[in-house]
Amino acid sequence: MSEERKLTEAIVSELSRSLIEIAWHFGPKGLRGECCDDLTMPEFIALEKVSMTPDCPVQVVGHPLGFTKSGATRIVNRLARKGLIDKVKSPQDARICCVVITEKGERILRSANSRYMQKFKELLAKVPPETVPEVMKTVTVMARSLKR
């Protein structure tokens, strides 16, 4: 392996390690108790999916999370119990359960989102401001590529 190649490996290694650290801190334990109603990370992702998908079927809620339909049912029920979403039988197809976000859900989602943003801003404050747009572009592209 060439010297240059080794250097690249080292860079990618550190980069991926750093990202994992960020992932963990933003992750399952990241928002604990810091947000109203104690929304966990998967709950946040699920709620966001519901808010962005009109008449969202239960299974679809599980997609961005990589859950089985069983897991999807459970997280949907949890959010429903908390009053953040409603389950409505579809008029077109009675098998399908349209999940819709409630007023309270919208409020909580906004609140949780701003919490995450706060956390993220604290991070951004430590990097040179002129690089922020570049970083944003990159992160966005990476995130988008995950969706396929």
Partner DNA sequence: AAAAATAAGTTGATCATGTCAACTAAATGG
Partner DNA sequence: CCATTTAGTTGACATGATCAACTTATTTTT
Report 11-40 residues binding DNA (CB under 7 A). Answer: 40
Binding-site partner at residue 69 among its own copies, DNA, none, CB < 5 to 8 Å by type = DNA
Q: What is the DSSP letter of 90?
A: -
Which span sits near its own copies by CB under 8 A: 13-21, 55-63, 76-84, 99-107?
Answer: 13-21
Q: Is 136 in the site for its own copies (CB under 8 A)?
A: yes
Among 44, 50, 62, 109, binds its own copies (CB under 8 A): 44
Show the tokens assigned to 15. 């980069």
CA end-to-end span of the chain, whole Å? 33
- Report the C-alpha gap between 52 and 87 in whole angstroms: 15
Cα angle vertex 7, ends 120, 10, to 5°?
45
Q: Is 20 in the site for its own copies (CB under 8 A)?
A: yes
Label each residue of 32-67 as H, E or C.
Answer: CCCCHHHCCHHHHHHHHHHHHCCCECHHHHHHHHCC
Q: Is 42 in the site for DNA (CB under 7 A)?
A: yes
Residues making contact with its own copies (CB under 8 A) = 9, 11-29, 41-42, 44-45, 48, 64-66, 113, 116-117, 119-124, 126-127, 131, 133-147
Residues making contact with DNA (CB under 7 A) = 40, 42-43, 57-60, 62, 65-78, 87, 93-97
